Structure 1
């Protein structure tokens, strides 16, 4: 009866499989089989007996040559011509199907075997399942495996289940793996070390660290872990960034390798294998073994650390096999790369020292992980030092190593060094290091270097990605230098550049991202190209969903900011209203831009309405909000209202910035209100807000316009020293160095001051030049602003007008 049930179920599988393959392949391959059968039955009236081996060989040869139709004809000729067939007569056919793989032909063969009532062997089951798994037909393979359990012993089934789990990992189908585990438990198949290795890979696929720890406990309960099995656990821990567990398992692996006999060998295919007898662990039962956890292993290693250290210094006493040495090196490399991922350079250095002690020569892959760990933690300069050590040992660095160093050099704005690393790379498949270089060019405003690197990308046939184009729009979207307004010629040039970049995007099949569109909008706004700005806004509205606030709101903000800068307040208001009516949620930046736009027309009432909307949307006013309101009050010369608003912002805990103060300085200087300027300078000092070059310019100009030249020079000195104090630490050594630059008469002193500008210390550069100018005009430099009569007077005046502030 069970045999009959198995045949019925197998027939159902064959039928379902035929329908499935007809759908998957459009019926073509199944049709080929049917056509071949029709040809066979019409052209052969009778079939003589054929020798079994000869028939199998003809079928296998036809399959290898890809002649499926002829293979089907030969298969049916083979089955009809011999009535004493056994499972062995089909073994080589199924083996060929498993090797190709050809799951369709397997099912055709299986159907004939069922019709001939052949007692199917364990080998045939195994080959059929393997062919189905390799062909991607896991559902059909699982159904066949459920039938196999009724007629095959559990120990013969285990390799088949292991193959199925391996196929689940390769096809990334975890659900079928869970069904397979349920079936194994139901059939009490048990597990061996190969099973645990496959389960580890599936756990990594699911990013399930707790599952890896459970597998460790279960596997160590039934097996004495070998270097080969430990290697797989170490890989799993490192893939899931569990550095502590990986390091603990690695030390356990070192201890086993040097203290116990290892039975690691290699197969004919070059794969590592354990020569110990692999007895499957039962699926259930009572076990008295101790549950070995990683904590237990770690404590054992700590107890034996001293003896292990002495053993490492005498490695010559025991020579390890090449296979074990290779496994150890691979595992060290895995942990080293994990150190790079979690930026643990201290452990990376320990591992490198331990490898040298054990006689394991670091490879290029070892140094790849080591340099990543060192460079990402301590900086690219330390990574370059390790690279020089590699060159001294004639170890060629991996392209990935050079790519990481190139990216880090670009981030540090070291363009020459970054380009040198890019030139050393032999094969480049990812534009990331080139994008980092372009980003550095954008920061330094060096479009000419970007052109050179783009030419190299073209020569290497390296296809750009969307990040490349985002940077290109940022680099080449603007024609004029900063602070210059666009004109007709520059607008034409910008339009050509944007069109050229977009044409290249189309050629490479890349669409705009929200950032690339924003960069285009910024370029158009900077040039004052309002018409084109609105056109690209409409394109962005069609490209991104209005409900995706993260994408579309920054695009609207870019357009609104450009319109406000172009003093197109009416158009900005229309865009804002259409944005809200379309269901796009404004953010804090949107409201601040619109409040700033109200200053163009001087409508304080509209600004207050926007602040009300801002509160209802859950956003609190910031310094930039106060700046917009101050602009409106100062436009009508309401300085008292501006001072009152300033104090209200402080009472509400708003952190004031230099831009806000500069807004008052600018208008007060234009209107000749020195009294307001002096009050705000001291107020700014008390709030701990450092001046910037604009502050110095407004204050200095206000005094000069009224003929107070000495006061102007004194104020310039005080503000410059305060700027320096905010940039550099005020030490005696540093002060002497700066004094030499300020008072020096060497022609190289001034260019040396300008060098600080390249280090992104533009405030320091301006302050030093201003103090040098004061010294040249005969005004002594004082490093104590509080000693200045001007500074003391401002302090007294603020105290006497405390009612205002």
Structure 2
């Protein structure tokens, strides 16, 4: 095997020397020689030459074999063997140069293996082998790829002084590219200073690396500077245009990106977008010759002609760099150019692929800024140019044009992709699913998420969890969690915030907590907290509030206070305060549990720790005063509330009226009612029901009728509680017929929340299906409406059905009710 390696160069040497030597002459079997024209063998000088060449080739072959063996040992993980072979290489009886280590250094650059590359460099230094430009580049590449930017920077700065060889431009460019990948502006600045000091210069690769670094640093002014320097020295073609369009889209400068894209389109329409592939990389076929600036720099006009077209760099009013495309000294006709197609047969050339990528970049930027109009314009332009949109194109387009209220548009675009045999990205499905969730189209949202194969972000699942939370369907949220686990998707903080809201409260609405539900509630909260800690999350303000709200809803006062104290201790440790909304949740829950002493203590503690009260806090405390019957304290709180800049609202007047009514002071309470009307404060049905409850307890029918007419005049629709107080008061006073008529009218007003015309249209349907129906399941169907959160409709239908069972004529217009007319006449 070894013979084959050195015989080949020997044959080359002999054959190349044939013109200087005499022809080969055969001397019979087993004999050979060279005839020198005198009938003798080859001279001693020729023999010596052949011997030296033989030794040199043998040494070269051995060196190459050792390099290959070192690389093989490194590839197989035999580092001690590689080190031993490296020592064998340098201790051989032959001279070595930097090129004898290129194979090793190149492998270390690609691996990367910064440890062995430095070991090789140290061995070269001991052997006093000077580096050449290639070995220097390989060492810098290895250090950069291994994440040792500091060492690479130190190496570049020192190697020129120590070894008498300065790095060439590709070495600096590679280091700047590594700085761009790691977003290290510090190392890049030091490198640029050294380049200026050593007068290395720059080329397009340098500007490309600096451009990427500027984008990663979100430095738009730097991008503009690079743009100006670039057009001062180079001609614009498709590849740099693509990079600048990408940069401006990442910086959110849609205007500049769009105008550069239009210039690229202009080049395409003139047939000047041609690129050729070289070893997998795209290169422009146009000559890269710097254009003379004629002394014009900076913001001055730098123009270069292309078929009587002119490109002029400029800045807009915001300092953004843009390009104007003019034809024959005038503005280009955008409408005309957009209807022209890319030359036939060039739709899948490298140039048109780059053009499509640039369109995709700008469309994705439209998606980031929700610029639907520009996105639609670009899609239409692609269609007119004959550029077929890809799945990537639709991914950005859907982000730009779909929105929560218009999720149907997103679904229709998915159908269009299906017709074009384009498979949507997982991110596309996630986007449309998120919009469906926000529109509460949970079935569609869940169907789309089931099609996702990979997902690295939790937001589409969080949106679906939020929809189930709003719809009070925690049982369906379990399926979402199972799907996330199947995809090995790590929850984020928003996920845990929603989990506490979904599963913290065990009981359904309108149900109070009990011992079993409270135990279950604790288990759920602890389980979520443990999983949250395993994934490295601490409580956020929202998650903390959701936990406190769940504990309060279950009536777990002690557990809620414990969580509050824990949160307060953490806030003291972090030198922050919990926030007013957190305290408001605790105060409200304690008030619901009738723990007035704790409410007052927590309020004092809240104020003492510097947490300001807001309007909701004051209203809770005023409501607390209504429970402890302290009108004086309530008035003091109202004064504090106004002093802090909060105006009393309907809930404030309701609490004050409750105190007065509990004291039997109806006259002063009615004065507050009139004052609220004068201050243009629209009281809600809860405020009026406060009056009705006390009037019912006192049997004061006149007050009942006055309040009912006030509600009608102020267009406040009654609720089931209103009907109960009015009907029961009349019954207890012996006015049964009036009670049924009043119940009929009030139920009619509950049904009239939309408009009376629609009610008249539904009259027959409601009577046949619910009110007059003889179907034994009629009342069950009405009760089902409660589950659909249509409580007022269900209560009104049950009331009217009961009125019909009492053989009372159902009134569908208030003009047919003597009771309604009498109240209007008496109190109107």
Structure 1: how far apart are the matches of 2:793 and 2:194?
A: 73
Unaligned runs of 5+ in 1: 1-48, 799-805
SS of the aligned residue for 2:283 comes to: strand
Residue 274 of structure 1: aligned partner: 284
Contact 2:259-2:323 within 8 A present in 1 as well: yes
Residue 303 of structure 1: aligned partner: 332
Structure 2: how far apart are the matches of 1:283 and 1:73?
A: 58
Structure 2: how far apart are the matches of 1:549 and 1:704?
A: 58
Pair 1:197-2:218 in alignment? no
The CA deviation at 1:184 is 3.8
Q: Cα–Cα, structure 1 residues 69 and 217, in superposed 2: closer, same or farther, change >3 Å?
A: same
The CA deviation at 1:308 is 1.2
Structure 2: how far apart are the matches of 1:737 and 1:185?
A: 84
Pair 1:560-2:587 in alignment? yes
SS of the aligned residue for 1:521 comes to: helix
Contact 1:545-1:552 within 8 A present in 2 as well: no
The counterpart of 2:415, out of the listed 388, 407, 418, is: 388
SS of the aligned residue for 2:276 comes to: strand
The CA deviation at 1:649 is 5.1
Pair 1:354-2:418 in alignment? no
Structure 2: how far apart are the matches of 1:155 and 1:117?
A: 17
SS of the aligned residue for 1:297 comes to: strand
The counterpart of 2:809, out of the listed 775, 778, 796, is: 778
The CA deviation at 1:567 is 0.4
Q: Cα–Cα, structure 1 residues 591 and 61, in superposed 2: closer, same or farther, change >3 Å?
A: same
Residue 334 of structure 1: aligned partner: 361
Structure 2: how far apart are the matches of 1:142 and 1:282?
A: 34
The CA deviation at 1:323 is 1.1
Q: Cα–Cα, structure 1 residues 529 and 81, in superposed 2: closer, same or farther, change >3 Å?
A: same
The CA deviation at 1:564 is 0.8
Residue 797 of structure 1: aligned partner: 827
Structure 2: how far apart are the matches of 1:646 and 1:451?
A: 48
Residue 108 of structure 2: aligned partner: 97
Moved more, 230-239 or 748-757: 748-757
Structure 2: how far apart are the matches of 1:686 and 1:154?
A: 95
Q: Cα–Cα, structure 1 residues 619 and 218, in superposed 2: closer, same or farther, change >3 Å?
A: farther
* Superposition map of 1:239-638 within 5 A: 239-268=250-279, 270-278=280-288, 287=297, 289-290=302-303, 292-293=313-314, 297=323, 300=326, 303-312=332-341, 315-317=342-344, 319-320=346-347, 322-376=349-403, 379-502=406-529, 504-505=531-532, 510-545=537-572, 551-614=578-641, 619-638=646-665
Residue 142 of structure 2: aligned partner: 131
SS of the aligned residue for 1:207 comes to: coil
Larger Rg over CA atoms? 2
Pair 1:738-2:762 in alignment? yes
Moved more, 467-476 or 742-751: 742-751
Q: Cα–Cα, structure 1 residues 138 and 669, in superposed 2: closer, same or farther, change >3 Å?
A: same
Contact 1:258-1:318 within 8 A present in 2 as well: no
Contact 2:696-2:726 within 8 A present in 1 as well: yes
Contact 1:343-1:377 within 8 A present in 2 as well: no
Q: Cα–Cα, structure 1 residues 634 and 213, in superposed 2: closer, same or farther, change >3 Å?
A: farther
1:537-594 Cα deviation digits (max 9, x unpaired): 2333344447776745433322222111010111222233334444444444333322
Residue 44 of structure 2: aligned partner: none
The CA deviation at 1:305 is 2.0
The CA deviation at 1:763 is 5.0
SS of the aligned residue for 2:403 comes to: helix
Structure 2: how far apart are the matches of 1:754 and 1:84?
A: 99
The counterpart of 1:640, out of the listed 667, 690, 694, is: 667
Contact 1:718-1:791 within 8 A present in 2 as well: no
Structure 1: how far apart are the matches of 2:818 and 2:352?
A: 74
The CA deviation at 1:379 is 1.4
Structure 1: how far apart are the matches of 2:288 and 2:789?
A: 65
1:186-221 Cα deviation digits (max 9, x unpaired): 444444333333233222212233433443344334
Unaligned runs of 5+ in 2: 1-58, 304-311, 317-321
RCO higher in structure (CA 8 A, sep ≥6): 1
1:147-166 Cα deviation digits (max 9, x unpaired): 57789999974333322222
Moved more, 302-311 or 774-783: 774-783
Q: Cα–Cα, structure 1 residues 152 and 310, in superposed 2: closer, same or farther, change >3 Å?
A: farther
Structure 2: how far apart are the matches of 1:197 and 1:627?
A: 68
Structure 1: how far apart are the matches of 2:573 and 2:683?
A: 34
Contact 1:188-1:282 within 8 A present in 2 as well: no
SS of the aligned residue for 1:266 comes to: strand
Structure 1: how far apart are the matches of 2:367 and 2:715?
A: 40
Contact 1:380-1:409 within 8 A present in 2 as well: yes
1:295-339 Cα deviation digits (max 9, x unpaired): 663564962324414422xx4546355212322222222223233
The CA deviation at 1:78 is 4.2
The CA deviation at 1:503 is 5.1
Contact 2:504-2:547 within 8 A present in 1 as well: yes
Structure 2: how far apart are the matches of 1:476 and 1:680?
A: 41
The CA deviation at 1:133 is 1.8
The CA deviation at 1:603 is 1.8
Structure 2: how far apart are the matches of 1:331 and 1:530?
A: 60
1:652-705 Cα deviation digits (max 9, x unpaired): 675644443443343333333444445545555666655555445544554554
Structure 2: how far apart are the matches of 1:234 and 1:771?
A: 68
Structure 2: how far apart are the matches of 1:695 and 1:153?
A: 97
Structure 2: how far apart are the matches of 1:282 and 1:545?
A: 66
Contact 2:339-2:381 within 8 A present in 1 as well: no
Structure 2: how far apart are the matches of 1:701 and 1:243?
A: 67
Q: TM-score, normalised by structure 1?
A: 0.80
The alignment's C-alpha RMSD in Å is 4.2
Residue 41 of structure 1: aligned partner: none
SS of the aligned residue for 1:292 comes to: strand
Contact 1:192-1:280 within 8 A present in 2 as well: no
SS of the aligned residue for 1:486 comes to: coil
* Superposition map of 1:100-249 within 5 A: 100-114=111-125, 118-147=129-158, 157-249=168-260
Structure 2: how far apart are the matches of 1:566 and 1:257?
A: 74
Structure 1: how far apart are the matches of 2:229 and 2:731?
A: 84
Query: How many residue pairs were aligned?
Result: 744
Residue 29 of structure 1: aligned partner: none
